[in-house]
Structure 1
Amino acid sequence: MDLLYYHRCLFKGCVYLLFLILTIHHSASKVIEDFSPMEPQSILVVPDLHDAIHIGLFTTVGKRLVERGHNVSILSHKNLLNDDLNRNFNIISYESTTNVSSCTTDRISLTEGSNDCALVKLINIAWYWYKHSDQDAYLNECSSILGNDKLIKNLIRSQFNKVLCDVSSPCCSILARYINVTFVNFASKGALGTRHFRWYYVPNVLSVVPEFMSGFTNRMDRWQRTQNVLFYLHSVIVYDFWMFGAYDRLKHNHNILTNEKAFDIIGKADLLLLNTDLTVEFPRPYMQNVIFVGGISGRNSSKLDKDLELFLQSSGQNSVIVASIHSKFSSTKPENLQLLWKVLTSVPQKVVWVDNGDVPKMVTANENVTVIHVNKLNDVLGHDSVKVFVNHGNIDLAYMSIYHAVPSVVIPLFADEYEVAVRLEAKEIAQILHIQRLTRNALENALDQALHNATLKEQVIWWSEVQQDFHDILLPPIDRAVFWIEHVMKFSGEYLRSAAFQLNTLQYFLLDVLLFVLICVFLFIYIIRKFCLLCCCNKRTFSKDKNNKVKQQ
């Protein structure tokens, strides 16, 4: 009887505890859903005007802001507009004078040697910026915007409360400053080396923070640290002097903000939102106005179409490989795409090819291959039958693979994709294949490793759990981004800014203190030397006088 009573009490206790947990979880979810409501504001979103891949990230944030009651407008040239943007936002469009495809080709040629030695990469990038700093596609696009008087007057008349910018180009920051609206910068491609952090005076510890395009992890030997310093100096020259110098000349040409430097303007942002977190990025120092919002692209899967569900289930024990490759994949070597397609169609697994806007002619649906729109990618990756994800290293794709715990085979094309790939490989959740050395044997081995290597699967599951733990403790990344945007609209971001913005270069690097210490040391040595010389002279004079007296006696 006592035992039965004990079990009943235990059962009731468990029921009460479960009810308490569910109540707390429901309350927490409600708090997350309804955090600090505010008056509707007018927000201008300016995505990367030459990168359609990352515009989806701004669309997601914009939709969440609209759900919160804000009036969101998107500034874009007509080449980037689509039905989704037209349906959900107020569109402010203009005619672009820049060829977007040529910009993409320039980026490919610029970063083609991602796996070459450090010296080659430094010379290639430096030579490109030296020759083209005033003809860069981003710069020309910026000139189209700043020189459009009708557009500028329209933006001023709209009286926006905040501008959300992509930090890839200083143009949006200059535009926001020109129309006298405070702004938030968004690093949609994640943390690219140290350059974004220099602009916000975040400490860059070069012994553990790899520079952009170095290909290093946060564990470097002495020679790698030496190269990393060279990469850092190269980054300072290319971006802080040549790139910003080109934008300063552009401002002068349009007679805009001539008394302010582009470097100082971009640092006036209330926040820097980073599309990364510690599941991808290496640990490093950060400032309070630098906010992690990585993982926006990863979310729970929705129900799939019946035909697609049947196709995935038909794979049986062979599982499914998902391939999402940049539309410009064949721009480096046309045979690369043919090689990838031959390997994927020769394996026993089912293949899902993702349409990123331009499906190659050779890619055709058949019994073992199906083609889906990129909007369905997240839902497909969440299916149990998907075991490998072949992609080009876009950071949003990386977060989808981590969220759904799917090992990756990464073939990076652009420099930022190579940086993401290095980090995924360092965390043992992906295999990297260099596009310049892509062979059938390398591709087949990488797929085999991703399918059968238990370590890869265990690691990606572990990192997926780490990411989920971040989301449970903090707000989900999309809500975190919206929370901070609204927060600085309420209270401004001035109190988050480091006092380093008020210091000049000598003061920031303590060169004035070093100079003062050196002067003090010099004076101390000088005084001691004089004192010693004086003592020695007096002693010598005393000895000489004493000897003279002895001789006289």
Structure 2
Amino acid sequence: MLSPVLLVASVLFVFYSVARGGKVLVFPVDGSHWVNMKVIVEELHSRGHNITVVRASNSWHIKEESPHYTSITLQMGQFHDYMVDDLSSELLQLRMKGRSFSADLALGNLVVERFSVMHRDICTMVTAMFEDESLMRSLQDAKYDLVLTDPAFGGGVFLAHRLHLPLVLNVRWTVRGEAHFDIAPSPLSYVPYPGAELTDNMTFSQRLLNVFAYVFTRGTFSQMTDAHYTALSKRYFGPDVDYFSLFQNADIWLMRNDFTFEFPRPTMPNVVYMGGFQCKPAKPLPVDLEEFVQSSGQHGVIIMSLGTLFGSLPSDISEEIAAAFAELPQKVIWRHQGPKPSTLGNNTLLVDWMPQNDLLGHPKTKVFVAHGGTNGVQEAIYHGVPIVGLPLVFDQPDNLSKMVARGTAKVVDIATMDRAVFVEALREVLHEPSYRENMQRLSRIHHDQPMKPLERAIFWIEFVMRNGGAPHLRTQSFRMSWIAYHSVDVILTLMMALLLLLLILFLTIKKCLSALLKKKVKCE
């Protein structure tokens, strides 16, 4: 039985939570991005906030029914089936051809083609929302406090502007690329552009490569997105609104990284770092999995997962990986879909799904074989587990290159890998202490902060609710022209003034010398 005082306190707490709760409209991106957004949604709900999620009817991960949110389901799909199946398969096939200019160009062209279609469909979906008077009226009447969105696609940003609501971004990528380059000063002399796989200490040739990567990649993103979003912006907001200024005008940028992962670089007051916010202490494993882990004895366990898009690999690669694992004394837990490799050893357990965070936090886990997705890399940092990387596409090679630079990972090119190469990489990371020591040092740095990343993210979301935005933290630099931003007009004005001053000085001296010469001639 609860005591009367405790009962009253509990009731008051419930009423207080409801009273202080805000209303948040969430426009997420599906796939692994939703895995991140869901963590924030559930935490906001636990604190008494009312959450509404905009989702597509054929959404991959975003469920229509949830105890944590109500949903608005739109009949137009945000992600087509080929995003999950055909695109990932084609990208993997291109990746297996190795790294070359022609292969990278073909991969880039495929990404531009498919993602351009996705951005077009997002714009079509937003248009359908804006044209649905009943839906828009209900959204206006709901009186939301803010819009929380992932700007890898632009739907949530446009919706926030249409509803005149404060905007919070859960971000690592925008429709134009890595988010820092859209909001913060980013000198290419020491800020490596994602994809170039460089550090913050570059030679001249590397700086040249960095500039080339920046120009080429930004052009590629513009090719995918500008036409679609510009047309949408002109249709609903007029010709004077630059669509990307709507992104840059966001109140808070919740960055899904931090400087245990990124190299030091300039930032802005409204950028809040929450790297590893989805990580949490390990929970006990299921009984059967715990028994398998404990059976590894002193050798420990290797876990392998290639994320949500790449559950299976070509059979010849799977055979080589299985054969390599079979040569090791460690036990292996491998998230694998597809036919069972014929070379699979008795030490390897194939699973359709694994509690990745809990396994990484287990004391017997020695190495994480990963594709280099941001979520997996940050979980490895959180738990201090070194990585053997098999990067495939998107930001994965660049993520792993940062880990290599910090001495916490060994990367293997999957296009040229065989069992001997893979075994050698595994043994190096297993037996060279520096990999684990360096990763555990990063883990200590990550944990050594005044508040947890998720708490920091929630604080700033609630800050925007309480204050109706955060305009005092927003820079106006993005409203300036390139010439004004870099003070080109000021520099040219000063140079012209200096030249004019020098010209006047020259003419004065010339005049004086001429007068002196004339006087001298007269005297003679």
Q: Shared topology, TM-score over 0.5?
A: yes
For 2:213, the equivalent position in structure 1 comes to 231
Amino acid at match of 2:70: N
Measure how far apart 1:367 and its partner are.
Answer: 5.2
CA distance in 2, matches of 1:307, 1:207: 52
C-alpha displacement of 1:366: 8.7
SS across alignment from 2:367: strand
- Alignment-derived partner of residue 68 in structure 2: 88
User: Which residue is equivalent to 1:424?
Assistant: 403
Deviations 1:89-129 (A, max 9, x none): 21211223465343355576498499846x76886687668
AA of the residue aligned to 2:504: I
Structure 1 CA distance for aligned equivalents of residues 64 and 363 of structure 2: 29
Aligned match of 1:453: 432
Structure-2 residue corresponding to 1:217: 199
- Residue 168 of structure 1 corresponds to 152
Q: 2:355 aligned with 1:376, yes or no? A: yes
Which residue, 69, 78, 101 being the options, matches 2:48?
Answer: 69
Query: Residue in 1 aligned with 2:474?
Result: 497
CA contact (8 A) 1:192 1:416 kept: no
Larger radius of gyration: 1
* CA-to-aligned-CA distance 1:480-506 (integer Å, 9 cap, x gap): 111111111112211111242453322
Q: Is the 8 A contact 1:390 1:410 kept in 2?
A: yes
Tell me how far apart the structure 1 counterparts of residues 350 and 452 of structure 2 sit (CA, whole Å): 31
* Inter-partner Cα distance in structure 2 for 1:103 and 1:209: 31
The answer as to 2:19 corresponding to 1:42 is no
CA displacement at 1:393 relative to structure 2: 0.6
CA contact (8 A) 1:114 1:415 kept: no
The answer to whether the aligner puts 1:531 opposite 2:508 as a matched pair is yes
* Residue identity (%): 24
Of 157, 182, 194, which aligns to 1:199?
182
Choose the corresponding residue for 1:390, options 345, 356, 369: 369
Secondary structure of 2:368's partner?
Answer: strand
Equivalent of 1:406, from 366, 385, 390?
385
State how far apart, in whole Å, the 1-side matches of 2:412 and 2:75 are. 39
- CA RMSD across the alignment: 3.3
Aligned residue in 1 for 2:462 = 486
Return the alpha-carbon distance in structure 1 between the equivalents of residues 460 and 424 of structure 2: 44
CA distance in 2, matches of 1:231, 1:246: 24
Is 1:510 matched with 2:487? Answer: yes
Counterpart residue identity of residue 515, structure 1: L
Deviation, 1:70, is 0.2
CA distance in 1 between partners of 2:312 and 2:26 (Å): 31
Q: Secondary structure at the match of 1:64?
A: helix
Aligned counterpart, 1:433: 412
Moved more, 267-276 or 435-444: 435-444
Compute the displacement of 1:241 (Å): 7.4
Q: Residue 462 of structure 1 aligns with which residue?
A: 441
SS at match of 1:342: helix
Residue 82 of structure 2 aligns with which residue? 102
SS at match of 1:54: helix
Task: Give the direction of change, closer, same or farther, for the CA distance of 1:529–1:102 in structure 2 (3 Å limit).
Answer: farther
> Gapped runs of 5+ residues in structure 1?
1-35, 548-553
SS at structure 1 position matched to 2:369: strand
3-state SS in 2 of match to 1:243: helix
Change in CA separation of 1:188 and 1:224 when aligned onto 2, cut-off 3 Å: closer
Is the 1:297–1:397 Cα contact (8 Å) retained in structure 2? no
What does residue range 313-392 of structure 1 map to in structure 2 within 5 Å?
A: 313-326=294-307, 328-329=309-310, 335-354=316-335, 359-362=337-340, 368-372=347-351, 374=353, 376-392=355-371
CA contact (8 A) 1:184 1:273 kept: yes
Change (3 A) 1:287 1:124: farther
Q: Tell me what 1:285 maps to.
A: 266
Cα distance in 2 between the residues matched to 1:311 and 1:343: 19
Paired letter, 2:199: T
Please list the CA deviations of residues 437-487 of structure 1 after superposition, one character each: whole Å capped at 9, or x if unmatched: 3232221111111211111011111111111112xx2x1111111111111
Q: Secondary structure at the match of 1:415?
A: coil
1:123-158 Cα deviation digits (max 9, x unpaired)? 6687668x7499432332332232243354543443
Q: CA deviation at 1:235?
A: 3.9
2:454, 2:438 → 1: CA distance? Answer: 25
Tell me, which stretches of 5 or more residues in structure 2 are unaligned? 1-16
TM-score by length of 1: 0.81
The residue type paired with residue 500 of structure 1 is S
Q: CA 1:184/1:99 → structure 2, altered by over 3 Å: closer, same or farther?
A: closer
Task: Provide the C-alpha distance between the structure 2 equivalents of 1:178 and 1:440, rounded to a whole number of angstroms.
Answer: 55
